[in-house]
Structure formats: C-alpha cells, structure tokens
Amino acid sequence: MVYIRRDVGKLSGDWDPTLLWYARAVGVLLQRPITDRTSWRFLAAIHGFSESWWRMDGYLKAGEALPNEAEQLLYWDQCQHGNWFFLPWHRGYLASFEQIVRDVVVQLGGPKDWALPYWNYNEGQQSLHLPACFAAKTLPNNEGPNPLYVEKRFGLLGDGNVVLDGSLIGLGCLDDPLYEGNVRGTPPGFGGVPDSSLDSGVPGGLESSPHNIVHTEVGGYDQVRTAPDGSRYTVRGLMSYPNTAALDPIFWLHHANIDRLWQVWLDSSADHSNPDKSDWYNAPDSLSRSFIVPTVSGEPWKFKVVEMLDTLAPKLNYRYDTSAAAKSPVNLLHLRLQRLGLEADQLQNFSANGALMAKEPDTELIGANRAPLEIVGHSVQTSVQLDKQVTQQMFNSLKSNLFAASLTPPDRVFLNLENIRGNSDAVLLEVYVNLPADADPAQHPELRAGVLSLFGVSDASRTDHEHGGHGITEVFEITDIIDALHLGGITSADQLNIRLVSRAAVPAEDQITVARVSLTRLGG
C-alpha cells in the first residue's frame, strides 16, 4: 500500500478523521514512558533534548528515569541542520514517526491507510492560520483534553494566536538551480552546503525559508514572566528551539510540508537534481554518527541518504497528493533581460548562443563592515565598505553588451551575515539593503534581502556544540537588488548600508551579535 500525505487545509473540516485519529494517537504516545523508544518524548528527543528545559516545561517529572547514557548518545540530539543532510535526515525521522503513529491509529481501530498530513502555509491567506484543531483545548464530542494543543505556542504577537505572516515565508528557494551549495556558502544551494565544510552552519535555501521562519513564527518570541515571589523567568515557545520543537504536534505537519517541497523543487525543473556524490548519498560513513531512528517495534533502523531519495522506496512507501510548484522558478538572468525589454525569441537566442555556459565561477570578496554588529532593539545598521576595483568589475558585468555573441552571465551577488551568535533562537530579522534612514521598511519590499530566523543559534554558540561556538551564517542572494540599483542609474559605490529590523525589540541580554557582514560576488 502507498500512503498518501494530504494537505491539512483541504481535509473535510476542523476535525477530519485524519486529524482526530492523529490526536488520539498522540495521546497514547504521550502516556508511554520516556524510556520507550516509541513514546512521544523519546521521539521528540531524537531531534533535540534539554533536560533542564524539559523539566521546566513539565515534560519531565521529578525522579523520572531517563534512558541510559548509551541510549541517549545513540538516538538523541541527532537533528541535521546547517548542512546538506538536513532534508534526507528529516525524511527518515519523519517516516519513523509516521509509521509509529499509524501503528497506534490501527490499534485504536482507525484506518490502516492513515498518513501524516502536511501544512501547506504557502497555499493562500487561509492556509497561514494554524489548523483549528491544534488551537482547540478539547477534543470533539467530549472525548477529553486535546493532545494537539500546547500552551507554549505563542505566535509572533505573543498572544497564542498563531497566524503566519505570509510576507516572511516566501518560496524563493524554488529558484535555486542546484541542491548543493558552494563550500563557502555562496550560494548556499537549495539543500545546503557539504557537511563540515565550514566552522559555522550555513542553511540551504529551503532550510532558511520557509523552514526556520515558520518555526519562529509558530513558537514566537520568548516570554518574560513574573513569579509570585517577584522573580522573573523566561518561557520559550516550543517550536522556536530545536531542543523542544518536536514536542509540539504541529512540528510534524510542518516538516511534512518541508519534505514535500523537496519533491516540489525536483519536479519544478528538469535541471533540478540531487547531488551525484558518494559522500552525500552514501552518508553517514563508518566514522560519522549513524542516522538512526526506531521502528514500530522499537528496534533500531539505521539509514543512509541513498535510502531517502525515493518516497516510494519500500521503507518509506508514501507520496504527496500534489508536488506541483507553488510558483514557477525564475531564472535571474532571464528576469533581468525581460526588464530590459527582450522578447521571448531573443531570450531563446540569447541562451542558445552560449550565454548561459560558463566555467565554474569564482567567489570574490567585494567588501565587509569594520566591526562586529550587536543586535539590540528594533533596528540596527552597518555599512559594508566596498573594494572599488572589485565593485567596478561587478558593475561592468551588469552593463555588458547584451547582444554580444560572447556575452557571459552577469555576476551573482551575495550578502553574508557571518558567525551569528546569541542566547535566544526566538528572533526574526528582516534584512534590508540601502534602506533610506527615514523610510518605513514595510514600504520597501524591493530592498529586502531576506528574512533571518535565528532557529538553532543558541546551540551553535556553545563551545561544546558541533559548530564549536562559531554560531550560524546566513547567506542571501541580492543580485536582484544590486541589478535594480544599477538599472536605476547607480554605476559605482563606496559602500552599501545594511539594516536589520526586528518587529519585537531584541533585548541586550540575548547577546545577539554578527561577527561580520560581507558582500561577495560569484562570477568569471
């Protein structure tokens, strides 16, 4: 049997049977001890675990026994982020969870073909709302408390009403031509950079948006509360942090959509393909930590990337009700030529004469700011000082003779926020280029380089973490912005002003810093 994962927004009502059976099964898994590999909490800890946070949030009781250390080292804190294993690892993790839930559904008398639905938040305005059954405190027909409801789901306004801001979760990742990013992270690629190629994790396009951003929009910003004795303490939204995210039942529908978007990307262009490299599809090797999840019986299942490449493979055996692209990928070079008025036949000739053929491009630093940037309050700004010679080469690339037979593609330009560190993951920053000092950022979407979620930054800032305290690095392609500035008449520049805007004030105690803001070009 092939199991069909369906869009939660197109199911029959708030409590479609698929969702009601999911809730009932979650209730069963929540009752199992954390030492049971098929329990809700054991499965969540595979993604991430913090004993102190879990105790604070009520997911661990005083004196409760944990799995032994060897078991924890084998299974827990396994999630792959900031590298090219992000998608295949989460696919195996999701498959394990779905199969365990399905087994419980069947034991409860539910359908044998039950499959996990996905939350398609890019489908339309209504799809931005958290599915209603996750906000209900009780099950229908007086069945009791709703296991899909969690209190620590704050949303961007901090009021528990989760409605995503669609302007923050675009699908620009579907434009990425390659799965694998450059080892320097410019570009980061659709699926991420090779593992261990950098000191700081660089998320691929899909991981950066919508994945990270939806995590932060659902979990919301940290809440500072006052105890009866007057002391202040912090409450974190579950979805805002990797160590608690999988405790929220919406996590799994979110990741089902991320998994679906991998297939959307593959299906959206004949040129899109997974890496054809043995150190990817044969990973992990014998020297690396195993990718391991429990089966329905609780037995270990070790898997490799190659087993995750076809959803119809025997150990997966599912498909999505649709993998149609939510938008058509746009070739940036063609977009620029269309701006200049070329017709379709000219575009075809342009591509045919070899304009899109080039040797492997080089990455070159255009400029950087002069000091680390501290993120405090609603808005901070820094200036990237540009190398005049390299900047001129970039502008020369943009103004090349469009009709020359030897024309090569214009440079691609990237904005890099390097080695971001901090104590809070629950931060969203909108990043703008050359935004006028007195301008309302919302009125200038054409100057927005992208949206940065700090999901995972606190772990990556720890010296005992896999990134050794180097934090995370975010890379935005700003070719379109530079191109528009150039077509608007700018032919040279000494600096670019970069502004980071947060809708909620970032407190100083979060200690969010960016070690360097730089601009690089990818060209011949």
Residue, of 413 and 490, whose pLDDT is higher: 413
Query: pLDDT tens digits, residue range 301-336?
Result: 999 999 999 999 999 999 999 987 655 444 444 454
Domains in the chain and their CATH numbers?
Answer: 3-320 (1.10.1280.10), 358-523 (2.60.120)
Residue 386, pLDDT above cutoff 50: yes
Mean pLDDT of all residues belonging to the chain? 90
Query: pLDDT tens digits, residue range 257-276?
Result: 999 999 999 999 999 999 99
Q: How confident is the model at residue 519 (pLDDT cuts 50, 70, 90)?
A: very high
Q: How confident is the model at residue 343 (pLDDT cuts 50, 70, 90)?
A: very low
How far apart CA 442 and CA 374 sit, in angstroms, is: 23
How far apart CA 120 and CA 9 sit, in angstroms, is: 7
Strands 495-506 and 472-477: unpaired
* Among the listed residues 160, 170, 173, 166, the one whose alpha carbon sits nearest the alpha carbon of residue 239: 160
How far apart CA 401 and CA 420 sit, in angstroms, is: 40
3-class secondary structure for 300-336? Answer: EEEECHHHHCCCCCCCCCEEECCCCCCCCCCCHHHHH
Lowest mean pLDDT among 61-70, 341-350, 414-423, 447-456: 341-350
Residue 51, pLDDT above cutoff 80: yes
Helix 17-31 crosses helix 86-107 at what angle (to 10 degrees)? 90
Contact indicator for 372, 514 with CB cutoff of 8 Å: yes
Residue with tokens 């746009």: 330
Residue 408, pLDDT above cutoff 90: no
* DSSP strands (E only) in 358-405: 362-368, 373-375, 377-386
**pTM higher than the cut 0.85:** yes
Q: How confident is the model at residue 340 (pLDDT cuts 50, 70, 90)?
A: very low
Tally DSSP H helices, then E strands, for the chain: 14, 15
Residue, of 13 and 410, whose pLDDT is higher: 13
Q: Tell me the backbone φ, ψ of residue 510, rounded to 5 degrees.
A: -70, -20
Residue 405, pLDDT above cutoff 50: no
| DSSP state string for 43-77 | HHHHH---HHHHHHTTSS-TTPPPPPHHHHHHHSS
Contact indicator for 292, 127 with CB cutoff of 8 Å: no
Q: How confident is the model at residue 189 (pLDDT cuts 50, 70, 90)?
A: very high
Region 332-357 average pLDDT: 44
How far apart CA 37 and CA 67 sit, in angstroms, is: 9
